[in-house]
A = this chain, B = another copy of it.
């Protein structure tokens, strides 16, 4: 009964279910193997074998080996854009961005285990770091446009929107790094707040 839930546009079928399973199996195997051996000591054949599919099928799910490890993370971009657009008229830009970022924070804290594995892998294979950073690049481009539209300026002519987005993105990355290095003993949200506070204060010259 009640086969169609209202929560999400999820056309549940035997097929789509299996796709989700396969995808999860692939990322899980990729993450586990790469955390154990290191990224380049794991072949696509290894991953697909561990997930029980053919190597060719692996590339039907992910465009590259890196994608399987680092994930897409493009999902939250749209939600963030909507949230930001609704917040902007009511408060300063920096504050709106801070609150919008909390969406990503929540998603990461929910996916805690996978993120720690990712940290492990990236720590062992720093070559992956740029790709991980790029995950946010699309989000930053979108965010820049939203802010520019709100301010009514051309994002190319004025550097302010891009500057806000780039620096807050950097602050977020620092907080995330500290979170992972602390093994999650600290709250990601608190670390993000701390970074945004320093940023809003103009990075004043006080260390401790």
A interface, CB within 8 angstroms of B: 92-94, 126, 129-131, 133-134, 137, 151-153, 156, 158-164, 166-167, 169-171, 173-175, 177-178, 181, 191, 194-195, 198-203, 205-208
Number of this chain's copies in the assembly equals 2
Asked if B167 and A171 make an inter-chain contact with CB atoms under 8 angstroms apart, the answer reads: yes
Q: Are B202 and A201 within 8 A (Cβ)?
A: yes
Contact B207 A153 (CB under 8 A): yes
Residues of B within 8 A of A175 (CB): 159
Interface of A is mostly: helix
Q: Which of A163, A198, A201: most chain B CB closer than 10 A?
A: A163
Cα–Cα distance between A167 and B198 once the two chains are bound (Å): 11
Contacts A129-B137, A137-B130, A167-B171 given; indicate if A177 touches B162 (C-beta within 8 A): yes
User: Nearest CB to that of A160 among chain B residues?
Assistant: B207
| A159 CB contact (under 8 Å) in B133, B156, B174, B205 | B174
For this complex, 26 residue pairs linking A to B, each with C-beta atoms less than 8 Å apart, are A93-B203, A126-B137, A129-B134, A129-B137, A130-B130, A130-B131, A130-B134, A133-B133, A133-B134, A152-B207, A158-B207, A158-B208, A159-B178, A159-B198, A162-B177, A162-B178, A164-B203, A166-B171, A166-B174, A167-B199, A167-B203, A170-B170, A199-B203, A200-B203, A201-B202, A202-B202
